[in-house]
Amino acid sequence: MKRAMVVCLILTAAWIGLSAGLAAAQTYPEHPVRMIVPYAPGGQFDIHARALANKMRETLGQTVIIENKPGAATALGTTFVAQSKNDGYTILFAGANAFAIAPHQIKDLSYKVSDFQPISLVSMLPQGLIINSNVIPAKNLAEFIAFMKKNPGKFTYGTSGTGGAQHLIGEHLKRTVGIDMVQVGYRGTPEVLQELLSGQIVLTIDGVVAYLPRTGANGPLRVIAVNSSKRLEAVSEAPTFEELGYPQMTSGSWGAIFAPAGTPRTAVDALRRSIVAANDSPEIREFVIKSGATPTTSTPEELQALIAADYVKWGEMLKLLNTN
């Protein structure tokens, strides 16, 4: 009799635990979700994250709060999420810098790709070659190259951090077109923009969204080429590098959402549904396209495959740059 009671109590406890787990899964999310952005406010990732988070609220039924944690070439914010509780309430909006470049660049990196559960792509993020036309009197890439060759090593270009995608693309540009310029790393796009407008640096290779308001009649900035496979609607007058005879410069980055490894599949699926619904909405699609990017979603498995392919791609670029 006593043994039967013990078995009954064990089964009851197991059922209560299972019921609680099922209830939690069915009610996710029960409170706001934090989206960590490992970049400074005001840059392309931050701007896209805020638009996406605002729209995700409609399907999640909870607020998605943006928290910027820039530093260490995105490693600071990425590590924070890797070490967070895997309950679906802390997620990461990051890209190639965190998952395909930093593992090559940073010795003893404080996280591994396997520390994360991929959820979905959000957007493809090409970069533009943006100059201060008050300093570089060039209307196109050929004139830019000619000017830089007449002034080897005299000018600096800005990036959102030494060792990141912008830096690598800048060094790749130097070798591809045969110019010499010096890289200066900043804490994010807002600092780069400020220094570019002041003439402290003369160019950058970055997502175009933060720079567009100061181009054309509104300022001295000019986008003279983009590294996407086709022209960007947001700056359609700027040709691609491929059009100009430099297909090896076609590159770009991407933005995606991740959770800590071990996050329940119910939370992963709910988050992905919300991301897809937000990205498919006309207002988000229009916003992303006008900011110089391409709205794109994926399955977790497709995102995992992209990370693996990009790890190889950026690794090969680093080897090329380090041996030239």
Task: With H, G, I as helix, E, B as strand and everything else as coil, classify residue 43.
Answer: coil
Q: Which residue has the tokens 């990017």?
A: 293
> What is the pLDDT, as a whole number, of residue 18?
41
Portions of the chain given CATH number 3.40.190.150: 33-125+252-322
Task: Give the tokens for residue 20.
Answer: 């609680």
Among candidate residues 76, 65, 123, the one with its CA nearest the CA of residue 96: 123
Report the alpha-carbon distance of residue 182 to residue 168 in Å, rounded.
Answer: 12
Whether the Cβ atoms of residue 223 and residue 238 lie closer than 8 Å to each other? yes
Report the alpha-carbon distance of residue 56 to residue 62 in Å, rounded.
Answer: 8
| pLDDT tens per residue, range 94-125 | 999 999 999 998 889 999 999 999 999 999 99
DSSP annotation of 101 reads I
| pLDDT tens per residue, range 141-164 | 999 999 999 999 999 999 988 888
CATH superfamily of 128-249: Periplasmic binding protein-like II (3.40.190.10)
Question: What angle in degrees, to the nearest 10, is found between the helix axes of 282-290 and 265-280?
Answer: 70
Portions of the chain given CATH number 3.40.190.10: 128-249
Report the alpha-carbon distance of residue 316 to residue 323 in Å, rounded.
Answer: 11
Report the alpha-carbon distance of residue 74 to residue 52 in Å, rounded.
Answer: 20
Which residues, at least 6 apart from 136, have a Cβ–Cβ distance to it below 8 Å? 144, 147, 148, 155, 202, 203
Report the alpha-carbon distance of residue 142 to residue 177 in Å, rounded.
Answer: 10
Task: Give the tokens for residue 307.
Answer: 């990370």
Q: What is the pTM of this model?
A: 0.83
| pLDDT tens per residue, range 244-295 | 999 999 987 899 999 999 999 999 999 999 999 999 999 999 999 998 999 9
Report the alpha-carbon distance of residue 323 to residue 242 in Å, rounded.
Answer: 24
Question: pLDDT band at 7, cuts 50/70/90?
Answer: very low
Exposure b/e, 67-84, CB count within 10 A at least 16 = b: ebbbbbbbbebbbbbbeb
| pLDDT tens per residue, range 58-73 | 999 999 999 999 988 8
> What is the pLDDT, as a whole number, of residue 26?
62
- Answer whether residue 202 shows pLDDT above 90: yes
Report the alpha-carbon distance of residue 190 to residue 98 in Å, rounded.
Answer: 20
Report the alpha-carbon distance of residue 167 to residue 283 in Å, rounded.
Answer: 32
Task: Give the tokens for residue 25.
Answer: 């899964």
Q: What are phi and psi of 2, to 5 degrees?
A: -65, -40
| Mean pLDDT of the residues in the chain | 90
Across 194-207, average pLDDT: 96
CATH of domain 33-125+252-322: 3.40.190.150
Q: Tally the residues of the chain.
A: 324
Report the alpha-carbon distance of residue 80 to residue 253 in Å, rounded.
Answer: 22
Inter-CA distances, 321 with 97, 163, 169, 172, 302, Å: 17, 12, 10, 7, 29
